[in-house]
């Protein structure tokens, strides 16, 4: 119990009992105000601040139940202990349903005072715990809002930095002639773009754990088409995906794999002055594993031909596939080439 006095309003038409309560509880740290009926108690509660109120049931005029209901309409009403003259469980239950915090049955002797004291102490403790809980919830909500704002700011800055980096690479590539150096820069730009798309998803949705693959692959395909197409060699890159979500790290890994496979198809599947299509297909296979297919209708696979490029893209694809625990399958599609990855999502 606090060293400060507990402000108690005791409402009862029994003058002798009011005096007994005042005498017995005064030395226990209670500052007691007495009211002889419901109207007087309601008036005192309206004009003063109390920590706890006790209301007797049997009173002339406005009885305890009506007094209870009207007290509860006051702003910041303190806990109310309902006092009954008989051990009537239905009456006590009705009082609790109406909003009383506790109830006490009148008894002869000191037992009643002890029960009152205990009921007041417990009601005040429940109020203290409830207020502490509400304060903790407010602080937690404020903390979550600060963290959410910080996360949005971080994602925003990362997105801006990634976009700036991609712009620098694109500017550098634009001043180079057609060839491996220019293609290498464009490939690097798309690897960064695969990560940037995931970051934009995190920034837009606030979901830092999963990425919606249909939306992600649609945006990625559009960017890849813009990168690898040219007026004399248009490249149409399309994506078809089931409405599934992947963990963020797997989505980034898969995005980089797609960038490499699409880049290879756009560079080598078709002639330098031919248009061509590249399709990205993603979904589940029959046994619940995820399946990615990247296919074209180009020249297909020529085992006897000399390897083109530096081979970095193929090494990246194999390394990323190992990271996913994926199987990698390459098939001639007559015409074209089809590359398929299958992996499980833990």
Ranges of beta strands (E only) in 180-234 are 210-212
Q: What pTM was estimated for this model as a whole?
A: 0.55
Predicted confidence at residue 32, as pLDDT, reads 94
Residue 183 C-alpha from the chain's centroid: 41
Q: Which segments of the chain have a pLDDT < 70?
A: 1-3, 108-109, 202-203, 206, 302-311
Q: Which domains does the chain have, with CATH numbers?
A: 6-138 (3.40.50.2300), 211-343 (3.30.565.10)
Q: Give the three-state DSSP class for 107.
A: coil
Predicted confidence at residue 310, as pLDDT, reads 63
Each residue of 28-78: pLDDT tens digit? 889 999 999 999 999 999 999 999 999 999 898 899 999 999 999 999 899
Residue 129 C-alpha from the chain's centroid: 26
Predicted confidence at residue 10, as pLDDT, reads 96
Q: Contact 279/295 with Cβ under 8 angstroms?
A: yes
Describe the strand order of the beta sheet including 52-56 as a list of residue ranges: 30-35, 6-11, 52-56, 80-84, 102-105
Contact partners, residue 232, CB within 8 Å, separation at least 6: 272, 273
Predicted confidence at residue 1, as pLDDT, reads 41
Going by the DSSP 8-state scheme, the letter that residue 306 receives in this structure is: P
Task: Give the closest residue to 99 by CA, choosing from 122, 138, 70.
Answer: 70
């Amino acid at each position: 119990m606090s060293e400060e006095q507990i402000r108690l309003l005791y409402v009862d038409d029994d003058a002798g009992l009011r005096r007994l309560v005042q005498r017995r509880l005064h030395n226990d740290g209670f500052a007691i105000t007495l009211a002889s009926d419901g109207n007087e108690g309601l008036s005192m509660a309206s004009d003063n601040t109390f920590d706890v109120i006790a209301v007797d049931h049997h009173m002339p005029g406005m009885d305890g139940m009506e007094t209870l209901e009207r007290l509860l309409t006051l702003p910041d009403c303190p806990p109310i202990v309902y006092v009954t003259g008989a051990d009537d469980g239905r009456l006590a239950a009705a009082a609790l349903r109406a909003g009383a915090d506790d109830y006490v049955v009148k008894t002869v002797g000191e037992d009643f005072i002890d029960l009152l004291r205990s009921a007041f102490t417990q009601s005040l403790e429940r109020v203290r715990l409830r207020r502490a809980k509400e304060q903790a919830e407010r602080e937690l909500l404020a903390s979550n809002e600060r963290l959410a704002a910080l996360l949005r700011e971080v994602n925003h800055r990362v997105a801006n930095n990634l976009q700036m980096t991609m712009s620098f690479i694109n500017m550098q590539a634009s001043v180079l002639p057609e060839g491996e150096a220019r293609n290498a820069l464009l490939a690097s730009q798309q690897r960064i773009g695969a990560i940037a798309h995931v970051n934009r998803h995190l920034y837009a949705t606030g979901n830092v754990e999963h990425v919606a693959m249909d939306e992600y692959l649609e945006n990625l395909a559009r960017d890849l088409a813009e990168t690898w197409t040219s007026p004399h060699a248009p490249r149409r890159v399309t994506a078809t995906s089931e409405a599934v979500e992947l963990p963020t790290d797997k989505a980034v890994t898969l995005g980089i794999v797609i960038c490499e496979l699409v880049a290879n198809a756009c560079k080598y599947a078709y002639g330098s002055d031919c248009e061509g299509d590249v399709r990205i297909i993603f979904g589940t296979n029959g046994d619940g594993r995820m399946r990615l297919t990247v296919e074209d209708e180009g020249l297909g696979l020529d085992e006897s031909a000399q390897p083109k490029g530096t081979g970095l893209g193929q090494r990246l694809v194999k390394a990323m596939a190992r990271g996913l625990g994926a199987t990698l399958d390459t098939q001639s599609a007559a015409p074209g080439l089809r590359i398929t990855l299958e992996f499980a999502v833990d």
